[in-house]
Amino acid sequence: MGNRLRLRFSKTGRAKYISHLDLMATMRRALLRAGIKLEYSGGFNPHPYMSIALPLPVGCSGMCELVDIGTEHDLLPDGLAEIINPAMPEGIEILEVYPPMRKFSGIAWVEISGTLYYDNPPEQIVQKLTRRFSEENIVVSKKTKSGISLINIAQFIKDVCYNDETPVTMSAKLSARDPSISHINLMSALDGKYAQLAPDYSAFTRVEVYDADMRPFR
């Protein structure tokens, strides 16, 4: 009987374009190359015990990603990152390995940081963005298990702040569950009469995850 380990990792550069399913396969192959024997389920279709906390949207970088794995043998976390990283593809790096102390369901908030690029930025863009994301009603279309639904995301956004330079950078803490809000939902709020606020290009990174008490989740 093995043990459970939690790997905190970053996903940057070209790796941010790897989909969730491809990331799972990439992680599995890298762990096997590193000599980590994964624990498999039983039955006719065995699969390795591996669970990622919050799948990243394709194109978004991450500095606080978490994956739980089960191993065939007891392994000490110390030094495992140095063993695994040489087997990882460019853009994926194990930052920390430790035994999981609580379930992923304890993640309540995520913090994102983004850069908004404008070919011709509107005047007072930061003030206008601040007003938009301070409104009581920010209704967007969101994909759910039952299809596309309209949802007011205003109550699921907190601590939005910006710089006052070009390009514009913003950071925000967003609900991680029920519902999960991402930068995609933020950017979709910049349409219709707010279309002038929509950037020509944007790049986002998930920088931290928190529990309900706003403590970094590990």
User: CB-based burial of residue 192 (10 Å sphere; 0-12 exposed, 13-18 middle, 19+ buried)?
Assistant: exposed
Give the number of other Cβ atoms within 10 Å of residue 15's Cβ.
20
Helices (H), the chain: 20-33, 80-84, 125-132, 183-188
Q: What is the pTM of this model?
A: 0.91
Q: Alpha-carbon distance 213 to 123, whole Å?
A: 37
The string of DSSP letters for 88-128 reads SPTTEEEEEEE---S-GGG--EEEEEEEEE-SSPPTTHHHH
Q: Alpha-carbon distance 31 to 173, whole Å?
A: 32
Q: What is the per-residue pLDDT for 42?
A: 79
Across residues 139-158, what is the average pLDDT? 88
Q: Alpha-carbon distance 190 to 202, whole Å?
A: 12
Q: What is the per-residue pLDDT for 45?
A: 83
Strands 201-210 and 61-70: parallel
Query: Which tens digit of pLDDT belongs to each residue from 159-171?
Result: 899 987 789 999 9
Q: Which amino acid is at 146?
A: S
Judge whether 102 and 213 are in contact, CB under 8 Å. no
Residue 18: both structure tokens together: 């790897």
Give the number of other Cβ atoms within 10 Å of residue 179's Cβ.
15
Q: What is the per-residue pLDDT for 100?
A: 95
Query: Which tens digit of pLDDT belongs to each residue from 91-134?
Result: 999 999 999 999 999 999 999 999 999 999 889 999 999 999 99
Residue 1 pLDDT > 70 = no
Q: What is the pLDDT confidence band of residue 218, given thresholds at 50, 70 and 90?
A: very high
Q: Which domains does the chain have, with CATH numbers?
A: 4-101 (3.30.70.580), 106-210 (3.30.70)
Q: What is the per-residue pLDDT for 43?
A: 77
Residues 6+ apart with CB under 8 A from 212: 106, 108, 109
Across residues 40-59, what is the average pLDDT? 89
Residue 41 pLDDT > 90 = no
Residue 160 φ/ψ, nearest 5 degrees? -80, 130
Beta bridge partners of 7: 67, 97
Q: Alpha-carbon distance 176 to 105, whole Å?
A: 10
